[in-house]
Copies of this chain bind each other. A is one copy, B any other.
């Protein structure tokens, strides 16, 4: 790979609002999905907003997984940033969609730390 990492930006739409506002559930979901895709969880930092919404980040040995939720829009934005060639961030899409009851998803994956100047762009999928 001609890059240091891969960065998946995932949009989860029409999710279950209650799950999106449950900080402990989200912490478990992100940790479980991190391990499921082969990442090593190091530490996490989650925060519950008032009146609703959660922000959370898990630092993994391979970079990070983050989530920001808008229960009022049934929406969550997730990032899966992994360095190296072994982990495939796209493997997180389906389990995250299932655990948050998302009815639709779209994502884009970008290379990070390209060692050349060129950067192939792709659209949301």
Interface residues of A (CB under 8 A from B): 4-5, 7, 9, 11, 42-45, 47, 49, 55-57, 59, 61, 63-64, 66, 68, 70, 73, 75, 77, 79, 81, 83, 106, 108, 110, 112-115, 117, 119, 121, 123-124
Contact = CB atoms under 8 A, between A and B. Distances in A.
A47 B43 contact: yes
A57 B108 CA distance: 21
7 contacts: A4-B77, A43-B45, A66-B81, A75-B113, A106-B117, A106-B119, A119-B124
A45 B59 contact: yes
Given A47-B42, A57-B57, A112-B11, A66 B68 contact: no
Contacts of A45: 43-45, 57, 59
A4 B121 contact: no
A82 B4 CA distance: 24
Given A79-B79, A112-B11, A64 B68 contact: yes
Contacts of A55: 42, 59, 63-64
Nearest first, the 7 closest Cβ-Cβ pairs linking A and B are A45-B45, A57-B57, A77-B112, A119-B124, A55-B59, A47-B59, A63-B68
